Amino acid sequence: MSAPKVTVLDYGSGNVRSVVRALEHVGAEVTLSAKSQDVLNADGLVVPGVGAFAAVMKGLKDVDALRLIGRRVAGGRPVLGICVGLQILFDEGVEHGVRTAGMGEWPGKVERLQADVVPHMGWNTVSPPEDSVLFNGIEDERFYFVHSYGVQHWDFDVSQPMMKPPQVTWSDHGGRFIAAVENGPLSATQFHPEKSGDAGAQLLRNWIGRVAKS
């Protein structure tokens, strides 16, 4: 069976090389690109994100990535967001009093964490739902976080009875915040799986397995 083809979105975000290496390590054939054909035709797309919410949104807009991500999600094609790549999938981000619109795939606001020590930097546990695909076999492991902002409330109104609600994984740093979301073809983690050792590698392997089946 051929290796799943994964594109890591190249729009100026830092740390992309470590994401590429981590995906290659778990068996993916990886392309680093922002070209529309590479983004749309890949079996899976990874959207990394480092830095400020507004800067990441601008970087994505500059390469027309928001439209391309939207097309993939609408077509049921797998997408994985990492760190700020998770945050921009929500309604908006608020940093230093400035509000920036996100993609609005999920309801919620990205705000500064309510903790005595910020940024939240280091290893932390998570609480995934029982039927999580991403965390299958690694439910009790620790993952590596580096962030000052997060989504601390979840209010998803399912208007269609047959629609399965997203699966939300939580963590805690001065209060609960969303550590990951799984929603059909769209998945995202607030932590960095590429920096999370064996547990992070297994999470990427789990995601690649989902990509191969889609």
Give the residue numbers marked as catalytic. 83, 192, 194
Pair 105, 66: CB distance under 8 Å:
no
Taking the C-alpha atoms of residue 61 and residue 77, their distance in angstroms, rounded to an integer, is 20
List Cβ neighbours of 142 (8 Å cut-off, separation of 6 or more).
123, 124, 125, 196, 199
Integer CA distances (angstroms), 94 to 36, 54, 102, 164, 204, in order: 29, 9, 10, 29, 29
**Nearest of 82, 180, 174, 83 to residue 127 by alpha carbon:** 180
